[in-house]
Amino acid sequence: MKKIIVLISGQGSNLQSIINACYHKQINAKVVAVFSDRSSAYGLTYARKAQIPANIIIPNTFTDRQHFDFVLSQEIDRYKPDLIVLAGYMRILSNFFVNHFKGMIINIHPSLLPKYPGLNTHRKVLENGDLEHGLSVHFVTNKLDSGPIITQKKIAIVPTDNEMSIIKRIKHQEHIIYPIVIKWFIEGRLIMKEEQAWLDGKKIPI
Ligand code: GAR
Kindly report the CA angle at 117 between 119 and 103, in degrees rounded to 5?
115
The alpha carbon of 193 and the centre of ligand 1 are apart by a number of angstroms equal to 26
The answer to whether 65 is annotated as binding is yes
Nearest CA to ligand 1 atom 7: 88
User: Choosing from 109, 122, 133, 138, which is the catalytic residue?
Assistant: 109
- pLDDT, tens digit only, all 206 positions of the chain: 999 999 999 999 999 999 999 999 999 999 999 999 999 999 999 999 999 999 999 999 999 999 999 999 999 999 999 999 999 999 999 999 999 999 999 999 999 999 999 999 999 999 999 999 999 999 999 887 889 999 999 999 999 999 999 999 999 999 999 999 999 999 999 999 999 999 999 999 86
Handedness of CA 120, 97, 17, 205 (dihedral sign): positive
14 lines ligand 1 (CB under 6 A): yes
Instruction: Establish whether residue 9 lines the binding site of ligand 1, counting it when its CB lies within 6 angstroms of any ligand atom.
Output: no
Locate the ligand 1 atom nearest the alpha carbon of residue 42 and give its number. 16
What's the CATH number of domain 2-111+136-154+171-203, 3.50.20.10, 3.40.50.2300, 3.40.50.1000, 3.40.50.170? 3.40.50.170
All structural domains of the chain with their residue ranges: 2-111+136-154+171-203
Q: What's the CA-to-centroid distance between 119 and ligand 1, angstroms?
A: 10
pLDDT value of position 143: 81
146 CB burial (10 A radius; 0-12, 13-18, 19+): middle
Has 67 been annotated as catalytic? no
Angle, CA 198 vertex, CA 197 and CA 199 arms, to 5°: 125
pTM over 0.75: yes
